Structure 1
C-alpha cells in the first residue's frame, strides 16, 4: 500500500560504531586473549573467516561520520541512535580496565555524534560484570550528552551476572530516575560450541539470548519494581514475543514461575522492540503482541546480519499507514525526545 509522508523524522535505533580507541587500551590487558579464544570457539573458524573481511570492508561506515550520513541518506533515514559494537563490552575486564573502557567508549561515541548532532544520538557502555560500578558508568554516559547505554544479555563469568542480579537494582533505579535509554543487545551465546557451525552462534544465539535476558527482567520483577525503565530490545526481542504464550502458561500453572506480578505477556507493552526480525509476518506478529507504539525501526547498521533497506523491510509488512509511520519514526522520536 502507499504510505503517506511522515511528519516525524525516520529514526533507526539499531546502528553501530567501532571504537579503535577502546581496542587499543585493552590490547595488552590480561584476559583479552582468553576472551578472544572463547569467542572463536563459540563462533567457529568458518564464521570468523567470513566476519573478518566483512567488518573490514565496513570500517568507513563504522567510523566515518560523512560515510555514515551518506548511507543514511541513501536509506531514507534521518536520525540514527548509535551504539558501540557489542564487541567492545569487554566484560572480562577488571575494575580499573572497565572504568577506562566505559570512559573511552562514552567519550568517543559522544564525539562521533557531536559531528552531526541533528542526525546522530548516542549510547555508551556500562560494566555489567561489576554491578556496583554501573550507576557511575551510566551517569558518565549521560554527562557526555549520550541518551543512555547499551547492555548485553548478561555478563559471563564465574559466577556470571544475569540481568535479574540484585546487584543491578541501583542501576535500574538510576536508569528509571533519569529516563536513560537502555539498549539490550546480546554478544555471544552460552550455548557455546553447540552453535559453532553455519553461523548458528548468531542466527540462533542472538534471539535466544534476547529471550533469556528479557525473561530474567520480567520473571524476576525488575519491571515491577522499576516501571519507568526505557528498554529497547534488539532483534525484535528474539524468540520471546513469538512464544510468550508458553511463559504465560508457566506463570499460571507453576508457583515457582510466579516471580512477577502479572502474566509475562503484559510486560511486552512496557518494553520497546526494534523491527529487525527479517520476516514480514513476524513483524506483524510483534506489532500485534507488543503494540504498535512499542516497535521501532532498526537495521543493525552496517553489519551483514542487518538490513540495508530498513524502510523497505517495514513496507514489506504491509501495515496500516499509521502503524507504518509510528514504527518508521514517530515512536522513536517520542521515546528519544527528538524535536
Structure 2
C-alpha cells in the first residue's frame, strides 16, 4: 500500500467578489485546463488539479492508494493583508474539502491560514480542524521572517494543542539575489526547506513543543547532512557517539531532528538512502509534487530500489503517513 503525502490541488475558480489579493483561474479555450494567474505568475493547471474523478484515475494509473492534498505553494500569499487573505484561505480550504469528498478514504486535505498574523492563524486552526481538514500547510518563511522566531510560537502551540499536523513547504527564497538566475527553484527549494527546518531546531520550537508533528518538503533540503556537524559541536564526538564529559547539554541535535517527518522526494536513491540512515525509515513519507510534476512509474520505484526490509519499506510507503496524520489507516 502506498500513500502520496506531497500532492497538490488548486480550485477550479475563485469567486468574482474575492479580495484583491486573491489569484484567479482563467479558462483556456479548447482545453479542460485552467491558468492560475497570481501577480506575475502564469501557471497552466491540468484538470487533475481540481477534478476529483481525474485524481482517482491518476492514482489508479500511478499505483497510489491515497493522497494527502495541499494547496499549491503560490496560494501561500503572506504579503497580502491578513484579513483579506484569511477569506482566500477559507475559500481554498472549503475547496480542498470538496475535492476530498470525492473519496474520503483516499484523499486527506490540508488547509492554509494567514501566517503573516500568527495570532489570527492560530485562531483559524480550530475551525480548520473542525471542518474535517487533516492538517495545515505553511510556507518556509513569512516575508523573509524565520518560522522559528518567537512570534510564531503561539501558532505552533495551538497546532500542538489541537494535535494537528503541519506540512512546511518551501516557497520562493528571499536569498534569490545571492544565486545566479540560472539556479532558479532547483536550489532555492532545497535551501528554503533547510532553513525552515533548522530554524525550528535552533529557535527552540522543537524543544518547547515536543508533541508537534511536522513534515518538510523535499527531505528538508540539506538538513540531514548538517545535523551531524551540529551534533559534533554539541557533544564533541563523531558518529553520534556519547558526548564528552561536560558537553552535551540539553537534547542532542540529531535527536531533535528525528522529531520531524521528511518528504522522501529527493530524486536519487543515494540521497534517499542517506535520509534512511540519518533520520530513520520511521520518519520518512513518500511524496511526488503531483500534478505539478509527474510521478515516478511506479510511484515507489526509487524506494523499492533501496532493498529495505519489508517493515521499513511499508513504513515509508504507508504506515508512517498515518502516524503523521494521527488517524487510523483506512481499509481499502
Give the TM-score normalised by the residue count of structure 1: 0.82
The alpha-carbon distance between structure 1 residues 245 and 334, as it changes in their structure 2 partners (threshold 3 A), is closer
Per chain length, whose mean CA-contact separation is higher, i.e. which structure has more relative contact order (CA < 8 Å, sep 6+)?
1
Instruction: Map residues 44-193 of structure 1 onto 2, 5 A cutoff.
Output: 55-56=43-44, 58-156=45-143, 160-193=144-177
Count of residue correspondences: 304
**Per-residue deviation at 1:270?**
0.5
Contact 1:211 1:238 (C-alpha < 8 Å) held by counterparts: yes
8 A contact 2:69–2:110 mirrored in 1: yes
Match of 1:207 among 179, 185, 190: 190
The reply on whether 1:279 has 2:268 as its aligned counterpart is yes
2:287 aligns with: 298
Deviation at 1:263, TM superposition (A): 2.6
Q: Is the 8 A contact 2:19 2:84 kept in 1?
A: no
Is 1:10–2:2 an aligned residue pair?
A: yes
Deviation at 1:309, TM superposition (A): 3.9
The structure richer in strand per residue is 2
Question: Would the aligned equivalents of 2:96 and 2:111 in 1 still touch at CA under 8 Å?
Answer: yes
Do the aligned partners of 1:31 and 1:93 also contact (CA within 8 Å) in 2? Answer: no
CA pair 136-187 structure 1, distance change in 2 beyond 3 A: same
Structure 1 residues 330 and 190: CA distance shift in structure 2, 3 A: same
- 2:273 is equivalent to residue 311 of structure 1: no
Distance in 2 between residues matched to 1:228 and 1:288, nearest whole Å: 23
Given the alignment of the two structures, is residue 222 of structure 1 paired with residue 225 of structure 2, yes or no?
no
CA distance in 1, matches of 2:111, 2:55: 18
- Secondary structure at the counterpart of residue 287 of structure 2: coil
Cα distance, 1:119–1:303 mapped onto 2, change above 3 Å: same
Q: 1:309 to 1:130 in 2, by over 3 A?
A: farther
Which residue in the other structure is 1:47 paired with? none
CA contact (8 A) 2:8 2:49 kept: yes
1:197 aligned to 181, 187, 192, which one? Answer: 181
> Which of the two has greater helix per residue?
1
CA distance in 2 between partners of 1:86 and 1:308 (Å): 24
Residue 36 (1) aligns with residue 39 (2): yes
**Secondary structure in 1 aligned to 2:181?**
coil
**Residues 3-41 of structure 1, C-alpha deviation per residue, up to 9 Å, x if partnerless?**
xxxxxx421100000125458666734999xx835xx7x
Deviation sequence 1:244-302 (CA, Å, 0-9, x none) = 2222244457xxxx9x9323221121010111000101111101111111111111111
Describe the superposition over 1:178-232 as per-residue Cα deviations: whole angstroms up to 9, x where unpaired: 111100101101122444633x232110110111011110011111110000101
Task: Write the distance in 2 (CA, Å) between the matches of 1:163 and 1:236.
Answer: 17
Q: Equivalents in 2 of 1:21, 1:140: separation in Å? A: 23
Flag structure 1 segments of 5+ consecutive residues without an equivalent.
1-8, 41-51
Report the CA distance between 1:161 and its aligned residue.
3.1
Partner-residue secondary structure (3-state), 2:292: coil
Gaps of 5+ in 2: 25-37, 237-246
